[in-house]
Chains A and B, each alone.
Chain A
Amino acid sequence: MRTTERRGLAIATTLTLLLTLTACGSDDGPGSGEPVPGVTDTEIVVGTHMPLTGPASAGYSKIAPATKAYFDYVNANGGVHGRKITYKVMDDGYNPATTQQVVRQLVLQDKVFAVLNGLGTPTHTGVLDFLHTNRVPDLFVASGSRNWDQPDRYPNTFGFNPDYTVEGKILANHVKTTLPGRKVCFLGQDDDFGQDALAGVEKVLGTDGVVARETYVTSNTNVAPQIGAFKAAGCEVVILATVPGFTALSVGTAARLGFRPQWVVSNVGADHPTLARQLGDAAGLLEGMVGLNYLPMQGDTDNPWIQLFTKVNNEHNGGAEFDGNAVYGMAVGYLFVQVLLAAGKDLTRESLVEAVRKGGYQGPGVAPLRFSATDHSGYGGGRLSRVSGGKQTYFGPTYETDEADGPVNEYTAPPVSPPANGVPNA
């Protein structure tokens, strides 16, 4: 009996102590002088999630190193308002479940100031709510999903790529005007990426204008059934809303089945160096492929932006192979530095988002950036490219359109040149 009493007393005492301690624990409210997460007088910490491994890593794994290289270049030139940019890159393997984990780690543990250029429609869609409730600026998502353009629901989220519907309309417009009467088919990723792109294509060609529609999932690398269906349907033009790995798979599988349609490919899956590397000896199959882009073409050595980015790539990225992904990564870095400068010396999450909402940014892109208080989508158009003689080059005018039923128009504003030292100035 005595031991029981003693035990009871000990437990009761412990519990009381625990409760008192708990009651004393503080609630973290936002004090007025609380520092901005991830920002000090000398540093800005920014994070991202990228598929460094897995089915979507082909090509995309080079984007973050390129962005980092550009930040290193800016840091070497004195940083932004005296602050150096630190870029934390987390691998999510293009698996939405992993994205959940790594983004929480970035925000809650590493306390990043903002998430920049998180890649992927299915992956990033899953973290929108989390970033929103934590009030983290979510800038320049590396995807063209229309999810990013919801200013009322996600006021801190902004896209970068032209949205897939805009892109689908421009690609379909090309098919309609230069390849009239052909049988058009569509292969898209089985998520918002594929669906948005198909919506754009159907806006221009009509629902009857697409003979066969197929989808693929990134966890299954066999696209023979889909390509076989296209061959059986007698498709002459195939529009692809695919990531690079699956563009290469589709082209390769079609060749094996003796099927040679005209390929018309979304910008995210049309980077020629990436595809050529994937296909190896069969890179010749890409001849004649039509793609869309909105940034300077990597092979255009006369372009001042390409000259700048090549220099940064050699100095800070170990001279990695210079492809469309490198250009993309650096363009993202350039835009982020522009926004940081516009946000001013008193950097807060609010001032950063406000700076993006103000818009008016001009950089390497050939199409207009559309940021405003009511528009959170990125580039509003693009220019068509074609592979010829193993080289991807632009042809025709730049187009712009909206994601609704507006017409596809030519965009004629001349491109700007980069500043002399390669760092944007306020």
Chain B
Amino acid sequence: MSATRAPAPPYRQRAVDLVRTGRSVPTLLRHLAVAVAVALVVLLVSYQLDSYRNFQLATVAAYLCATAGLTILTGLCGQLSLGHGALMATGAYTVALCQTAFFDRGVTSGAVLLLSLVAAVAVTVTVGLVVGVAAARLRGPYLAGLTLAVAVVVPALTVTFDGIFNGEQGLPVPVAPAPAGLGLYFPHERWQLWMAAGATLLCLVVLANLVRSRYGRLFRAVRDDEVAARLAGIHVARTQVIAFVVSAAGAGLGGALLAVLAQSVSPGAFGLNLSLFLLMAVVIGGLGRLAGAVWGAFLLVVLPDLTHSLTNLFTLSPATAQRLEGNLPLAIFGATLIVVMIAAPGGVQGQLSRLTRALRALRPAGRS
């Protein structure tokens, strides 16, 4: 079922919903089943891949939390945010400060990480609430401006209050090693993938359910026409704040996971570039669909790696290679964005669902 942007979707949407609920299992159960299946695939894959790929996959999972949150906000509720990198930084710094506090007091068990992650989400939600309340009053370029300011200010705060955040050097994130029960030589990266994938799947199940819930419909109504939504009795500002808070929670968890994976946090990881990359990734992946967020998260991790191998392929003069190294990912990202916008405005996922729809249309003919 796709969140169509067509002018008169409500009737069709409801019709589809009725048909679905009539014949299949409840949404929550369906989502849980998919999550369990994905978890098993990840488990299998984690044994087949080498450590570095495991680490990369864990990074994808971390980014996925953030891109999924942004998908809810931008794709579903129609609000723009250029500040999600900063929200990720909030989550990351919270987890760093919590973990350090725990370890300084001699609490080094792996379970405290859960507490730290919850704290990270809670703090980010608070920040998201403040930004969201302001954002709900703004439209278009003003909203972009506000969130842009957040993206620039938050990393700068870490330098201004370097007593707490230790400036550009950043903070360490002490993390307990994999449980001893897994064996002495259990690769740390595989454990990291398990942690990140577990948290991300939980986050995705919650978000997917939200999309299918009353709130999902409210978000879509507000996105498609605010006036119509207001006439239908929807509190537009409140809905927008809720969307912002939900997406902030995703970003906070994503940032916290990134910090746990890197075992350190520094402002350089959460600059303005990250915020822009996140938005680009969501758009390229396919705005408005959680599956699109998955493609986006993959792109965020694969692209820099790809360009690095690309520059290594050619024997360039050191100077040219250096110049390409930093800038090529940006250029490729930009070019991809333009191509996707022209050729497939629905992003990767939109293109895929068009393909499957075309295949489905062919199938009955083939069978009979």
Contact = CB atoms under 8 A, between A and B. Distances in A.
Interface of A: 11, 14-15, 18-19, 21-22, 25-30, 52-54, 61, 65, 91, 93, 95-98, 100-101, 104-105, 108-109, 121-122, 125-126, 129-130, 133-134, 190-192, 217-220
A191 B168 contact: yes
A97 B323 CA distance: 19
Interface residues of B, number: 43
B47 A97 contact: no
Given A25-B47, A96-B266, A218-B168, A53 B52 contact: no
A122 B266 contact: yes
B268 A15 contact: no
| 4 tightest Cβ-Cβ pairs between the two chains A and B | A97-B269, A25-B47, A108-B52, A122-B169
B298 to A, nearest CB: 16
Contact of B44 (A22, A91, A130): A22
B11 interface: no
A22 B183 contact: no
12 contacts: A15-B40, A52-B322, A53-B326, A91-B322, A96-B170, A96-B268, A97-B269, A125-B169, A126-B169, A126-B263, A126-B264, A191-B169
A133 to B, nearest CB: 6
Given A28-B185, A108-B50, A217-B159, 7 more contacts: A15-B40, A101-B304, A108-B52, A122-B168, A190-B167, A191-B169, A219-B168
Interface string B43-66: 110011011100100000000000
Contact of A126 (B189, B262, B318, B323): B262
Contacts of B166: 191
Given A28-B187, A53-B325, A126-B262, A18 B170 contact: no
Contacts, number: 115
Given A28-B187, A96-B264, A100-B264, A91 B269 contact: no
A130 B52 CA distance: 13
Contacts of B267: 219
B186 interface: yes
A76 to B, nearest CB: 19
A109 B168 contact: no
Nearest to B322: A52
A109 B49 CA distance: 11
Contact of A190 (B48, B159, B172): B159
Contacts of A190: 159, 162, 167-169
Contacts of A97: 170, 262, 266, 268-270
B169 A121 contact: yes
A192 B168 CA distance: 11
B60 to A, nearest CB: 13
B41 interface: yes
Nearest to A62: B318
Interface string B175-214: 0010000011111110000000000000000000000000
Interface in B24-53: 33, 37, 40-41, 43-44, 47-48, 50-52
Contact of A129 (B159, B167, B263): B263
Contact of A19 (B40, B159, B172, B187): B40
Contact of B185 (A29, A192, A219): A29
A192 B169 contact: yes
Nearest to B48: A25
B169 A27 contact: no
Contacts of B172: 126, 129
Contacts of B55: 104, 108
Interface in B149-173: 159, 162, 166-170, 172
A11 B37 contact: yes
Contacts of A30: 185
Nearest to B174: A129
B40 A18 contact: yes
B189 A108 contact: yes
Contact of A22 (B43, B168, B322): B43
A262 to B, nearest CB: 28
B41 A18 contact: yes
A95 B268 contact: yes
A29 B183 contact: yes
Contacts of B47: 21-22, 25-26
B167 to A, nearest CB: 4
A218 B267 CA distance: 12
